[in-house]
Amino acid sequence: MADERETCASAGSCSKESCEGCPSAQGGKPDFSVPLNEFSTIKHVIGVVSGKGGVGKSFVTANLANMMREAGYSVGILDADITGPSIPKMYGMVGPAMGDDRGTYPMESSNGMKVMSINLLLDDEEAPVIWRGPVIAGVVKQFWTDVLWGDLDYLFVDMPPGTGDVPLTVFQSLPLDGIVIVTSPQDLVSMIVKKAYNMASMMDIPVLGLVENYSYLACPDCGKQISLFGESHIDEIAASMNLPVLAKLPLNPKFAEYVDSGDVEKLDSSILSGAKEIIEKL
């Protein structure tokens, strides 16, 4: 097959029947999309990504979802961070998720947020997921094909950091309307953000904007903003890519308190109000 494709490429066309499966013979890119569960309808899918770990991507995902839920939309979260799932903990959810012959049901929070995560399927939520990339990517696709999401206006996909197997699988397999890139103020951010941005561009996925987490600490006495991780350069980075800055989130101990207690829905999601109009325009 490899020799035949090389011959076809050198000839400038693909005409052999044995080459019909290659992108050149089809006149475009291969289609890796997978079908949504037949009992579900999802209007918009938004990915939340980060170039590196530890920037609060899952926290931003939860708050974006909460914001749209509070606005009256039906919303779900697909936790695609298979080896480091944290969304169920934020919502105080403990499995197992239930299912029937039609598929698996996502768990629902007290406010109606639908969530599916590998931690809702494991007997022990503290058990490590020691799987290779193809298996993990397969599970993410099953969260799309086998989960009974019902009717959703928005599904937010919390992806693992970086540009590896799972982000690639989500970009290729799910009908993303766009992504939000989460970052922090360190100097190396420019390079990291642009890696995520360039990956999205290569995959023809729109970038809706940037969210900077840990942007500052507000002094509890005087209110002065203290830049614990260095001065922010997010505005310059966003301008260089012609992207909006959706929010600059402070380092706030209350955030951690609500997350650790499983009460993330009690947080004031207006901290991300800059993203609401852009998401609704989808």
What is the spatial distance between Cα 74 and Cα 215, in angstroms, rounded to a whole number? 30
Task: Decide: 272 and 64 in contact? Cβ < 8 Å.
Answer: yes
Domain 32-280 has CATH 3.40.50.300: yes
pLDDT at site 271: 86
Q: Name, in order, each residue with C-beta under 8 angstroms of 194's C-beta and a sequence gap of 6 or more.
A: 237, 241
- The pTM score is 0.87
177 Cβ neighbours under 8 A, 6+ residues apart = 44, 45, 46, 206, 282
Closest CA to 32 of 153, 138, 161: 138
254-255-260 Cα angle (round to 5): 100
Domain residue ranges in the chain:
32-280
pLDDT 10s digit of each residue in the chain, 282 long?
Answer: 444 444 444 444 444 455 555 544 555 668 889 999 999 999 999 999 998 888 899 999 999 999 999 999 999 999 999 988 999 999 999 989 999 999 999 999 989 999 999 999 988 888 888 888 889 999 999 999 999 999 999 999 999 888 788 899 999 999 999 999 999 887 567 788 889 999 999 999 999 999 999 888 887 778 788 887 777 888 999 999 999 999 999 888 889 899 999 999 999 888 898 899 999 988
